[in-house]
Amino acid sequence: MNHIEEQLFYRLTKVIDPELGKSITDLGMITGIHTSPRDGEPNTFDVDITVELTVPGCPLSETITRQIDAAVESYADATLIPHITVGSMGKEKLDNLVAQLKAERHQNPFNKPGVKTRIFAIASGKGGVGKSSITANLAATFAALGYDTAAIDADIYGFSLPRLFGVHEQPVNLNGMLMPAMNWGVKLMSIGMFAGSDRAILWRGPRLQRSLEQFLADVWWGEPDVLLLDLAPGTGDMAISVAQALPNTELVVVTTPQISASDIAVRSGLVALQMPMTVRGVVENMSWYEHNGERLEIFGAGGGERVSEQLTRDLHYDVPLLAQLPLDPEIRETGEAGRPAVLDAAGQLRIDEFGQSFTRLAQELIRRP
Ligand SMILES: Nc1ncnc2c1ncn2[C@@H]1O[C@H](COP(=O)(O)OP(=O)(O)OP(=O)(O)O)[C@@H](O)[C@H]1O
Ligand SMILES: [Mg+2]
């Protein structure tokens, strides 16, 4: 290697494969760097770089080549013109890489001692109160605030996160290890990504418990700062599976302002009496609808406060009302179009009151209780 090639290799150690979270040089993806001087153009070189990605037609190929281009073009001491050839790894090399990654990865990366990931499960008694919308918007908020964020659709029959994130492709299967889909900065895994495909075969058996275990263990998560779980409505099985698989989970109970619905919301929080799980707080959704500057309380008022008081009383620790969120048709419309409403079209966190509510909620949650 000549001096420029060495310098380039060093720069490429800083290019991270977005799926695997490791440098492309560590992953053995750079298989050649060759410079040749251009005739008649002083201090100008063509640079041929060969890259081997894990799978042919890897959806992130463009992201990686763009980063390689940038790394080459930013070289200051000469003019370098990059030519990148993208291929894919041979079987043996890929098998070795997967074996190496698997060896580094533990069964369930989230319950080993010292893991930094904060885990929040979004639960409710009643269906349709906004768990999935809140999970999606909160995940997008955490990601926009710079946290490495992952979200799991633990509602395996009524999954909604793929639609809310606009993720339509299947997760890449790297010889038995699944790469989470990634959109709006969030790593995402949902049974919905497998529906209708032969990969659904992965999900046979006692599906509930196993699916969560698979989501945790067979997916390459890296070590996110935050993991959000969108639970199914009810007080039931999944919350218990979650508590067993992820004893550090903090529960966030979602309710509407309707007083009559608050008893069942309280019950969904009381699983924490039987399980090693903390209830972190309550979020009241659809609290008001703003009309001509006036806040109309369409679903009544006081539900969130009441759930907070009852859980605080029954659990013997403070379970605060963390946020009250407005009823806003945009949440549904933007969400259905595949973008969490808390982000603007450019993917930036909205700075209006709605954006601020989610920012405060995220900051409140991540603060140690
Ligand atoms: N604050 C809000 N303003 C307007 N629409 C909302 C709001 N929150 C949720 N919605 C809409 O209400 C419907 C139900 O929300 P969502 O799917 O998030 O609830 P859920 O609790 O996850 O439901 P399920 O129990 O079926 O999983 C969706 O159409 C969603 O877009
Ligand atoms: Mg839902």
Give, for ligand 1, the residue of 332, 339, 350, 361 to mutate: max count of ligand atoms closer than 8 Å to Cβ: 332
What pLDDT is stored for residue 300 in this prediction?
A: 92
What pLDDT is stored for residue 279 in this prediction?
A: 94
Domains of the chain: 3-104 (3.30.300.130), 118-366 (3.40.50.300)
> Pairing mode, if any, of strands 226-230 and 321-324?
unpaired
Per-residue pLDDT of the chain (369 residues; tens, 9 = 90+): 788 998 999 899 888 887 787 889 888 899 999 999 999 999 999 999 999 998 877 777 888 999 999 999 989 899 999 999 999 999 999 988 888 887 776 567 787 777 889 999 999 988 899 999 999 999 999 999 999 999 998 876 778 898 999 998 778 777 777 888 899 999 998 877 765 544 444 444 345 566 677 778 888 888 899 999 998 887 666 677 788 788 889 999 999 999 888 888 998 888 888 877 899 999 999 999 999 989 999 999 999 999 999 999 999 999 999 999 999 888 888 878 899 999 999 999 999 989 999 999 999 999 976
For residue 194, CA distances in Å to 24, 200, 207, 228 come to 28, 5, 13, 20
Give pTM, 2 decimals. 0.77
Ligand 1 surroundings by CB, under 6 angstroms:
124, 127-133, 155, 158, 160, 233, 285-286, 325, 327-329, 331-332, 335
Q: Which residue has the tokens 């759930």?
A: 307
For residues 256 and 250, what is the distance between their CA atoms, to the nearest angstrom? 20
Closest atom, ligand 1, to C-alpha of 135: 18
For residues 59 and 172, what is the distance between their CA atoms, to the nearest angstrom? 9
Q: CA torsion 185→189→195→200, rounded to 10°?
A: 140
What pLDDT is stored for residue 170 in this prediction?
A: 78
What pLDDT is stored for residue 146 in this prediction?
A: 95
